[in-house]
């Protein structure tokens, strides 16, 4: 399976974390290209950030010419998803928020979100509500710091704090926990070792979701192409 995994922000460190998470989910024969736009915000926090990142995502996808079976948009804003689907209607396009929330819905019961910055809370809540899971969301917890610093290193610097937040979320009654934000890519399997309920990684969830449909999607496209060539 050939995937373009696109970090909509320009942080090299965050892109590295996303790449590591993707490679950990790879199977034999997979070929993943993880990249970031040439321009845009280092982290998407404000509406203005999101608009600039959307333009950068569209530009990156337009200029990507390698064979591709699917695209993962690795931000919790699902940045540019509708526009990218219009550009690449031939392949599945999945944002990590959509994939993470689909997993929480499938697991059932109340769930919580754990993230690293207070400024991300309302955006994460909005995405959960957009996914129709507002009633199931029991809370969003974040690391209690005023300045989280380099987003590419937050999961390493605040691992103990994030683990404690997961434990607290479980104690509140969460049946599953979503790690909120691209910079936390790959951390869920680590925290899951000491957490009694599933901890959901959006990047892994998106890859697995595309994997479940990409082969059938490609075979269907091939059949349609073959049929149109007859006559």
Q: Three-state SS across 87-131?
A: HCCCCCEEEHHHHHHHHHHHHCCCEEEEECCHHHHHHHHHHHHHC
Q: Are strands 111-115 and 93-95 parallel, antiparallel or unpaired?
A: unpaired
Q: Which fold has domain 2-95+204-229?
A: Rossmann fold (3.40.50)
* Residue 223 pLDDT exceeds 70: no
Dump pLDDT digits (tens) for 16-71. Answer: 999 999 999 999 999 999 999 999 998 888 889 999 999 999 999 999 999 999 99
* Residue 94 pLDDT exceeds 70: yes
| Percent of the chain whose pLDDT exceeds 90 | 84
Nearest-angstrom CA–CA distance, 193 and 203: 18
For residue 29, what pLDDT is reported?
Answer: 93
Nearest C-alpha neighbor of 141 from the set 177, 114, 102: 114
Q: Calculate mean pLDDT across residues 159-187.
A: 97
| Percent of the chain whose pLDDT exceeds 70 | 93
For residue 78, what pLDDT is reported?
Answer: 87
For residue 219, what pLDDT is reported?
Answer: 58
Compute φ and ψ for 30, nearest 5 degrees. -70, 150
List where CATH 3.40.50.12500 sits in the chain: 2-95+204-229, 98-201
Residues 6+ apart with CB under 8 A from 94: 70, 71, 72, 73, 81, 206, 209, 210
Residues 6+ apart with CB under 8 A from 71: 3, 4, 5, 6, 61, 84, 88, 91, 92, 93, 94
DSSP 80: T
Nearest-angstrom CA–CA distance, 67 and 220: 17
Reported as type and span, the H/E element at residue 6 is strand 2-6
Q: Calculate mean pLDDT across residues 70-89.
A: 94
For residue 68, what pLDDT is reported?
Answer: 94
For residue 158, what pLDDT is reported?
Answer: 97
- What residues pair up with 32 in beta bridges, in sequence order? 3
Q: Supply the CATH classification number for the domain 98-201.
A: 3.40.50.12500
For residue 145, what pLDDT is reported?
Answer: 87
Nearest C-alpha neighbor of 4 from the set 214, 225, 201: 214
Nearest-angstrom CA–CA distance, 177 and 9: 24
Q: Calculate mean pLDDT across residues 180-186.
A: 95
pTM exceeds 0.75 for this model? yes
Dump pLDDT digits (tens) for 167-180. Answer: 999 999 999 999 99
In our burial notation (b when 16+ CB lie closer than 10 A, e otherwise), range 144-164 reads eeeebeebbebbeebeebbbe
Dump pLDDT digits (tens) for 189-219. Answer: 999 999 999 999 999 999 999 998 876 655 5
Dump pLDDT digits (tens) for 141-154. Answer: 999 988 888 999 99
Angle at 27 between CA 21 and CA 32, to 5 degrees: 55
Nearest C-alpha neighbor of 205 from the set 169, 172, 167, 176: 176
């Amino acid at each position: 399976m050939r995937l373009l995994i696109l970090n909509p922000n320009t942080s090299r460190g965050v892109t590295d974390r996303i790449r590591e998470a993707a490679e950990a989910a790879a199977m034999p024969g997979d070929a993943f290209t993880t990249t970031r736009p040439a321009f845009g915000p280092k982290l998407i926090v404000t509406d203005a950030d999101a608009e600039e990142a959307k333009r950068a995502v569209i530009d990156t996808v337009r200029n990507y010419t390698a064979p591709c079976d699917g695209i993962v948009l690795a931000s919790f804003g699902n940045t540019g998803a509708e526009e990218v689907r219009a550009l690449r209607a031939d392949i599945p396009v999945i944002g990590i928020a959509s994939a993470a929330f689909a997993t929480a819905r499938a697991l059932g019961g109340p769930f919580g979100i754990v993230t690293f910055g207070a400024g991300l809370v309302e955006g994460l809540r909005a995405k959960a509500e957009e996914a129709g899971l507002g009633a199931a969301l029991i809370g969003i917890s974040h690391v209690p710091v005023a300045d989280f610093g380099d987003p590419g290193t937050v999961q390493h610097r605040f691992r103990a704090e994030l683990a404690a937040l997961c434990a607290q979320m479980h104690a509140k009654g969460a049946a599953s926990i979503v790690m909120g934000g691209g910079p936390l890519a790959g951390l869920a399997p680590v925290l899951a070792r000491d957490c009694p309920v599933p901890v959901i990684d959006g990047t892994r969830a998106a890859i697995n979701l595309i994997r479940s449909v990409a082969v059938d999607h490609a075979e269907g496209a091939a059949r349609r192409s073959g049929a149109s060539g007859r006559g």
